[in-house]
Structure 1
């Protein structure tokens, strides 16, 4: 009989909406204990999860499971890059972009059962100015919304949509210089999104053709936005369709450089990072092992 795999669950107690569910208790009840020997630890502060994940990887744990939202998943995954330790996800946030792309169930019990029955694949990761991301990063409007959302006491999809509707027509595009596939050009930029996975989260698809295992970044450039283009782009994102060229342009590449005359905001996996005038975005092929549901390649 094979030895059980060692698993560390890292729980962010502040992720998602308030719930009376005892996550550690559900793990204890539903996890296959003949397959896994597990422990549960909790994050105490922002930036704690990468240390807890790397510690587990250094000790030779087989898997570390992030219990939280996109920010927690990003932190745990950062601690596991280029290691033999796999990432597992129990989604407990408001967007859950990576979990949705990997078809991990949103319900806690179903997600735990996925750990019991799933298998491991290896996916790409990316970085923007040396900050790792696993679903999307971006400069411009989406980063601005991330900055506002980060300071908002209310969370969830409803709050996010309300912020977007309030700010979308007030935000102004900026001139940028970009280099994609050795093609240098100047352009207006309302949003430039860099996608490893297809969606931001909440099934809002910014790059419907993105493949998390193909070694390529999908870049979506929105030059300018008026009300008609905003409505069309929103419709396409919610119906998993590519926007037409009037609303957005798409590129596939391994490396992007962007320069601006004035600082512009940027985010990684929905977490606001800050402002910069230079951006270096690249892909790191097949750099993270992840557990996915049975039947997913």
Structure 2
């Protein structure tokens, strides 16, 4: 009898909007059990998914599947960096940025069929102050929203959008010094986003041209914000277009340094990480194996 391929599902039971989907039952029904020998485990605390993923990789598990939102995907992916174990995703969050970029179906049944096909490729990862990210990281406004959202009891896209609309015109830009491709910028900064993938999540494209396999980060800099810029940027993000040069500037680079006089907030894959006056951001090419559609 042919030995089945080991696969571990790491489920975050608190991730995303409430759903009636019975994930373990769905796995049992739609996973190719003739090919896979599967195990299901549940996270119990922040950071647990990384530990569970590391354990699976050390045991030569072929695929580890993150069942949850962007935070869960980030934790699992961290545990699989630089290993031969591939990340799979069953999207169960409100944004699902990496899953959407990789074109993984949003319905669990479809995402399980992607796992059954078993197509694996290797992608880049980004790092901001030693925190790995796989879609986007940022300083300024998007990090501020992440910090407020993290403390909000209500989750989901609607809550996130309400926070953005409430804060977008009252948040104040700061002065930063940035080094990008050897060029020194002394600039205002409302938000500086570092994109490994094209979107934040929910098909909101902060860097439409970003390629997750090109060994580069796409940097989007918005110096200041007003109502006209806010409307234009929103339209550009939702229609997958580059904003005009009056609203945003774009750069491609392997490494970014940013220094600020006042501490600025920062996030990695939408998860608030704290504040700092110094940021080191770089890309690690071809550092994570992922399961994607053919």
TM-score bracket for this pair, using the shorter chain length: over 0.9
Q: Deviations over 1:116-136 (max 9, x none)?
A: 124000000010000000000
Q: Deviations over 1:133-189 (max 9, x none)?
A: 000000000000000111111111111111100000000000000000011120000
- Looking at structure 1, the residues matched to 12 and 192 of structure 2 have their Cα atoms a distance apart, in angstroms, of 30
Q: Deviation at 1:34?
A: 1.5
Match for residue 129 of structure 1? 129
Q: Secondary structure at the match of 2:251?
A: strand
Q: Secondary structure at the match of 1:286?
A: strand
Q: Which runs of 4+ in 1 moved over 6 A?
A: none
Match for residue 63 of structure 1? 63
Q: Deviations over 1:227-268 (max 9, x none)?
A: 000000000000000001000000000000000001000000
What is the 5 A alignment of 1:281-292?
281-292=281-292
What is the 5 A alignment of 1:1-297?
2-294=2-294
Q: Secondary structure at the match of 2:80?
A: coil
- Looking at structure 2, the residues matched to 202 and 266 of structure 1 have their Cα atoms a distance apart, in angstroms, of 20
- Looking at structure 2, the residues matched to 249 and 131 of structure 1 have their Cα atoms a distance apart, in angstroms, of 24
What TM-score, normalized to structure 1? 0.98
- Looking at structure 2, the residues matched to 219 and 161 of structure 1 have their Cα atoms a distance apart, in angstroms, of 23
Aligned length: 294
- Looking at structure 1, the residues matched to 224 and 37 of structure 2 have their Cα atoms a distance apart, in angstroms, of 53
- Looking at structure 1, the residues matched to 188 and 292 of structure 2 have their Cα atoms a distance apart, in angstroms, of 39
Aligned residues: CA RMSD: 0.8
- Looking at structure 2, the residues matched to 212 and 133 of structure 1 have their Cα atoms a distance apart, in angstroms, of 12
Q: Deviations over 1:84-143 (max 9, x none)?
A: 000000000000000000000001111111111240000000100000000000000000
- Looking at structure 2, the residues matched to 17 and 176 of structure 1 have their Cα atoms a distance apart, in angstroms, of 37
Q: Secondary structure at the match of 1:233?
A: helix
Q: Deviation at 1:2?
A: 4.9
When structure 1 is superposed on structure 2, of 1-10 and 43-52 the one drifting more is 1-10
